[in-house]
Amino acid sequence: MATPQSDVERRKQISVRGIAEIDDVNEIKKTFNRHVHYTLVKDRNVATSRDYYFALAHTVRDHLVSRWIRTQQHYYNIDPKRVYYLSLEFYMGRSLSNTMINLGIQSSCDEALYQLGLDIEELEELEEDAGLGNGGLGRLAACFLDSMATLGMAAYGYGIRYEYGIFAQKIVNGEQQEEPDDWLRFGNPWEKARPEYMLPVNFYGNVIDTPEGKKWVNTQVIFALPYDNPIPGYKNNVVNTLRLWSAKSPVDFNLKFFNDGDYIQAVIDRNLAENISRVLYPNDNFFEGKELRLKQEYFMVAATLQDIIRRFKSAKFGTRASTRNSFEEFPDKVAIQLNDTHPSLAIPELMRLLVDVEGLSWDQAWDITTRTCAYTNHTVLPEALERWPVSLFQNILPRHLDIIYKINHIHLENVLKKWPGDLERMRAMSLVEEDGDKRINMANLSIVGSHAVNGVARIHSEIIKDDLFKNFYELSPEKFQNKTNGITPRRWLLLCNPGLSDLISEKIGEKWIVHLDELQKLKAYAKEPAFQRAVMKVKQENKLRLAQILEREYGVKVNPASMFDIHVKRIHEYKRQLLNVLHIITLYNRIKKNPSAKFAPRTVMIGGKAAPGYYTAKKIIKLINYVANVVNNDPIVGDKLKVIFLENYRVTLAEKIIPAADLSEQISTAGTEASGTGNMKFQLNGALTIGTLDGANVEMAEEMGRENIFIFGMTVEEVEALKQKGYNAYDYYNSNPELKQVVDQIQNGFFSPNNSDEFKDLADILLKYDRFYLLADYAAYIKKQEEVSTTYQDQSKWLEMAINNIATSGKFSSDRTIIEYGREIWGVEPSYEQLPDPSVPRELALKDN
Ligand SMILES: *Cc1c(COP(=O)(O)O)cnc(C)c1O
């Protein structure tokens, strides 16, 4: 539910966001009413709020259609190099508000709906999130699509249209419960099914030798049905496509049963085949070697590559219609970016298509494949690296296994050429792991099959060269690159924080929206009292709005004058939510010990989903809720400290929380968080960061200067040295009484009086099995938090730092990231050219020229 706005507030909002044109408003009202009538088949006596949401979505969608068609015609006409971003995840969130903003029709829609007596913010809340992602990796893909469209690149996202996205998290008695995310229940107004472009994908079967070479035969076929989703650029009339595949049984599926007479069973079994696109695997940074997941990965890749090759062949210029020579220019016309190894079957699949289907020689095909593909690594955690059992491959993708073996054979010859007799290195670099059950190492395959390999922040890219992929770096140093992640300023400032956006635009104009470096100009005002007050007012309003949401939706009251200390991201041991809990308990004990001491009030909010099978992460959620229950109900504590677990953290919730944050928690063990992007969203919205020198925090600190960020804890080198020396958590536990008390309370059931063993496992991890060195960073973290509290008391200092944070966040625009991918990996330049506005009749447009 949206808060009712006063007429004055509403007018003001509209005036800063551009004036609604009276003709546009009237046209939108007409179209909206037409959709209520013809699309929703309702009149205003029976239409529900959801009907009005759909009518508005269709109205906005209408504005996309001509731009979408014209953009695709334009790409066909100029035949530029196409960029294909392949990802098993696209964490898109909502589309309505983003589309209105990028098309520049938001104020007209606001006004039209107001004149119709409807609350547009209430309708926006009825849109389901497209939650086709787990966390940072999937959200990165979504930000990249926005940037590629805004930069006018001929880019396509390719992925899976999961019928169920990331589960909805419910907290019941302090524990996480998962509910299926039935996001398509009411229909999806943004997508367009394209059954005419359906493509077959093969599984199972066997490989035979023929005079024309190897053939994959006796396969089971599943069809891939594409759904196109529009990706509008920011006010440039570009609309790119995100094509998501849905699994569809062929009509003759299980015909054998039919012939046996069991027609009913044959029809029922059609659903089984369609399970491929049923549900997103809910793991973040964790490999689960399930057959269905391998099928999803191949399904996406096989359908996508057929589509890419079809589009390549059907280009307007050249004579590419299926002549072997024409494939020589494939890498000049096609760039394929692999978002982690999840789509890495693209490498053997492209080889199969070029060799078995198109009849190219192995060497030609390999040259084309490696020049086309590039691989982005997203993690160094060993448990996250994909290593598929050969037995699974043999069964599901026998031809691909052959191809991988041949790639490996040639690769290992090259390794031996460089390091004669170095069998250990050969073993370590093999695509096929021979120890234990044989497995295919998909990261090794991706490196060998790509011309570029990149990490996602400078420190991460160094670690993969020095450590994870050291051997491959020594073999092919020219492949290794860095591309520091970024976020789209359209969603993560303009959309989610209109107050701050307006304030910035009043001060420095609107160029920052597409040139985020412009924010540098705010540095000049960091010490200006009037600007500080204005920034504070916006933050206070955002905090108040969040407080209202928390009270309305969760029934919790928070003190909006307290510091909002926020830790939102997937729950994972490496992200160290437990370290945050150690701090909370420390604060609690200090208040209890000395209730009359001066204390800077805090509201600590932690949110995030645990993978359903991740026992420790689920325990951490339970501990947070149990600690919250004790802290929040202790009259001695009162208003000084509140702890809230934010249920069901997702893109939509991030958009509400981040603009209200004072403090951003980015406290992963140095060397474990590849980049992080949550960190960037907070910086852009004027929160200060407490963080380790990990991932992109390092570059954030460099951009803003160490005086504007709270950095604590071990560096990567210090973590490494501690590991070498041997980490003993008891050293810290025994020498720090405050820490000892906290761990003991977790251990002995202080927060779980009905079950003293409830959190023993967590205490055991902290003291005996901790891979992430929480106790080693505890003292430094507590000390830095004290500095945070002291600084927060000095409002002017805090605001100066906050403004410096905003002013130096320009580097972390995904526009910058995408320009670098374009220049240094894809061979594609941005085009800031505006496509013609299709609402202007062509003859008029011509006259204007
Ligand atoms: C940005 C984002 C993430 C990534 O957050 P990190 O702190 O970088 O792990 C995860 N989930 C959602 C919903 C996000 O918007």
Listing DSSP states for 193-222 in one string gives E-GGG-EEEEES-EEEEETTEEEEES-EEE
| Reported pTM | 0.97
Report the SS3 class of residue 216: strand
- Indicate which residue of 677, 689, 692, 817 is catalytic: 677
Instruction: Tally Cβ neighbours within 10 Å of residue 765.
Output: 19
**pLDDT reported for residue 16:** 47
Check pocket membership of 133 for ligand 1, CB cut-off 6 A. Answer: no
At 8 the pLDDT is 44
pLDDT at residue 271, rounded to an integer:
86
At 557, list the tokens: 């009251």
Question: Does 490 contact ligand 1 (Cβ within 6 A)?
Answer: no
Task: Tell me how far apart the alpha carbons of residues 577 and 368 are, in angstroms, rounded to a whole number.
Answer: 45
Q: How far apart are CA 486 and CA 812, in angstroms?
A: 4
Share of the chain above pLDDT 90, in %: 90
Instruction: Please say if the pLDDT value at position 845 is more than 70.
Output: no
- What does CATH list as the number for 489-810? 3.40.50.2000
The residue behind tokens 């130096």 is 808
Chain centroid to Cα 142, Å, comes to 6
Q: Between helices 737-748 and 774-793, what is the axis angle to 10°?
A: 110
Please check whether residue 581 is in contact with residue 624, taking contact to mean a CB–CB distance below 8 angstroms. Answer: yes
Q: Is the pLDDT of residue 514 over 60?
A: yes
- What local confidence, expressed as pLDDT, does residue 321 receive? 54
Question: What's the Cα-to-Cα distance from 774 to each of 284, 448, 540, 631, 669, rounded to whole Å?
Answer: 21, 36, 33, 22, 8
Q: Does the Cβ of 678 fall within 6 Å of ligand 1? A: yes
* Residue nearest to ligand 1 atom 7, measured at CA: 678
Tell whether ligand 1 has an atom less than 6 A from the beta carbon of residue 676.
yes
Reported in sequence order, the residue ranges of 12-100 that DSSP labels E, i.e. its strands, are 82-86, 90-93
Tell me: pLDDT of 785 over 70. Answer: yes
Rounded Cα distance, 235 and 240, in Å: 13
Q: Is residue 268 very low, low, confident or very high in pLDDT (cuts 50, 70, 90)?
A: confident
567-581, pLDDT tens digit by residue?
999 999 999 999 999
Rounded average pLDDT over 773-796: 98
Rounded average pLDDT over 214-241: 97
Catalytic residue among 569, 602, 609, 650: 569
Domains of the chain, residue spans: 79-94+129-169+176-485, 489-810
Rounded Cα distance between 299 and 288, Å, is: 17
Please identify which of the residues 352, 400, 539, 570 carries the catalytic annotation: 570
Q: How many CB atoms lie within 10 A of CB 6?
A: 8
Alpha-carbon span 138 to 86, nearest angstrom: 11
Encode pLDDT of 14-40 as tens digits. 444 556 889 999 999 999 999 999 999
CA 572 to chain centre: 16
Phi–psi pair at 375, nearest 5 degrees: -125, 130
- Per CATH, the homologous superfamily of domain 79-94+129-169+176-485 is Glycogen Phosphorylase B; (3.40.50.2000)
Q: At a CB cut-off of 8 Å and minimum separation 6, what does 272 contact?
A: none
Q: Which of 183-197, 252-266, 737-751, 798-812 has the lowest mean pLDDT?
A: 252-266
Q: What is the pLDDT of residue 325?
A: 65
Q: What is the pLDDT of residues 58-102, one digit of tens each?
A: 999 999 999 999 999 999 999 999 999 999 999 999 999 999 999
CA-CA distance, 418 to 488, in Å (whole number)?
43
Give per-residue pLDDT as tens, 308-327: 999 999 996 655 555 656 99
> Does 79-94+129-169+176-485 match 489-810 in CATH topology?
yes
**Residue ID of nearest Cα to ligand 1 atom 8:** 676
Ligand 1 pocket, 672 CB below 6 A?
A: no
Whose alpha carbon is nearest atom 4 of ligand 1?
136
* Number of other residues whose CB lies within 10 A of the CB of residue 361: 11
pLDDT at 13: 52
Catalytic residue among 378, 439, 619, 811: 378
575 carries an active-site annotation: yes
CA 139 / ligand 1 centre spacing (Å):
7
CB atoms within 10 A of CB 399: 23
| Burial tier of 700 (Cβ tally within 10 Å: 0-12, 13-18, 19+) | buried
- 760 counts as catalytic: no
Percent of the chain beyond pLDDT 70?
95
598 is catalytic: no
CA of 766 to the centre of ligand 1 (A): 25
From the list 139, 642, 681, 811, the catalytic residue is 681
Residue 308 CB coordination number (10 Å): 23
Using DSSP, state whether 691 is helix, strand or coil. Answer: strand
pLDDT digits (tens, 9 = 90+) for 119-159: 999 999 999 999 999 999 999 999 999 999 999 999 999 99
Regarding the beta carbon of 650 and ligand 1, being less than 6 Å apart is answered: yes
* pLDDT at residue 843, rounded to an integer: 47
User: Ligand 1 in contact with 776 (CB < 6 A)?
Assistant: no
Structure tokens given for 727: 């980490």
CA angle 505, 509, 510 (to 5 degrees): 75
Q: What band does 1 get if pLDDT is binned at 50, 70 and 90?
A: very low
HSE-CB at 528 with a 13 A cutoff on CA atoms is 11
3-class state of residue 156 by DSSP: strand
The confidence score (pLDDT) of residue 256 equals 65
Chain segment 635-682, per-residue pLDDT in tens: 999 999 999 999 999 999 999 999 999 999 999 999 999 999 999 999
692-705: average pLDDT: 98
Chain mean pLDDT for the chain:
95
Whether 42 is catalytic is no
Residue 763: is its pLDDT beyond 60?
yes
